[in-house]
Amino acid sequence: MSRRSGIVMALVFAFSVVGLDWSLGVAPDPYRSPDPMAYGSKSGASGAICTFAPGAEQ
């Protein structure tokens, strides 16, 4: 078995995550999409970020 099998597994994992989400959740709505770039627009960051600490003083 070559390392390419591992790459295929990783890609299957990534597409499975998207597929599972699509089957369970809501499909994206392009009409509600933010501006292409946050910089210079009014639609800024989503706020869903690794450093987000709900409950702590922000």
Distance CA 1, CA 5 (A): 7
Binding mask 39-58 for other proteins (x = CB under 8 A): x-xxxxxxxxxxxxxxxxxx
Binding mask 1-40 for other proteins (x = CB under 8 A): xxxxxxxxxxx-xx--xx-xxx-xxxxx-x--xxxxxxx-
Q: Which of 34, 53, 52 is nearest to 44 (CA)?
A: 34
Q: How many residues bind other proteins (CB under 8 A)?
A: 49
State phi, psi for 28 to the nearest 5 degrees: -65, 145
Contact set with other proteins (CB under 8 A): 1-11, 13-14, 17-18, 20-22, 24-28, 30, 33-39, 41-58
